[in-house]
Structure 1
Amino acid sequence: MKYDIAPGKGIKGIPFGTGVSGVRAALGAGFKSFMRTPGAAHPCDYFAGAGLFANYDKTGRLEAIELASPAAPELYGINLLGMGFEQAVKYLKSKDPQLEREVDGAISLALGISLYAPHAVNDPKLPPESVLVFAPGYYD
């Protein structure tokens, strides 16, 4: 499923700040709710059929969306999971020259997008494993 990324705002139809019930209504049934980490402030929802994790802040408002296969997260019409990691980094860097490259991914604070690619060290031509779309202040 295609998801249009709106930098700093969320994905089309599901903006940051949406409550748990609103996210679930927008994405439909078939989710699993769980604490992603022991210190998580709120359970996240995983929509397996959509390849989407919805992460909430302590008040239950959407603050980040992680997309993995079969999702097709698009930024300005380009599927970030439909290309190799190096190519995705190059594309994001053309939109944000301050993009921060890491061993297993890359983060653009300006776009509110990060790539997770644990295999990048061995094969940067493989696509990222996931794309995280996050609200302003998420990494503060």
Structure 2
Amino acid sequence: MSFWWTLNIILLAVILLFVGYELFVRIMVKRSAKMLTQEEFQAGMRKAQVIDVRERDEFNAKHILGARSFPYSMLKETKNSLRKDQPIYIYDFNKSVSARAANLLRKNGYTDLYILKGGIEEWQGKVKKKKID
């Protein structure tokens, strides 16, 4: 095979992997949680448990005001401090880690799960930022 055929096959494989991953994330979200717009998220967050599933240093740098840090890497150990009788609003940078967190929580009996569409990167509401010295 020529170099160009090999390159095309590799590019096609990368594209198929990306599309497959996106499809997998969408299926996980659809099975585990409901996506919320910023407006819907803001409207309901006072009556919900808002959790940030990014790592703690990312949370400390900037997070939605009122959110609690539940890094996905530690969620298996910390999930029991979440209440099953209240909605859980989840966010990260976009939605992939949130989808995995919602899936984990659903498998452990949590049912009222919501994910912020666009994550913190698109959030227009109030945030708490770490002051730079």
Normalised to the residue count of structure 2, the TM-score between the two structures is 0.23
Instruction: Give 1 or 2: higher strand fraction.
Output: 1
TM-score (norm 1): 0.22
Report the structure number with the largest CA radius of gyration.
2
Q: Which has the higher helix share?
A: 2
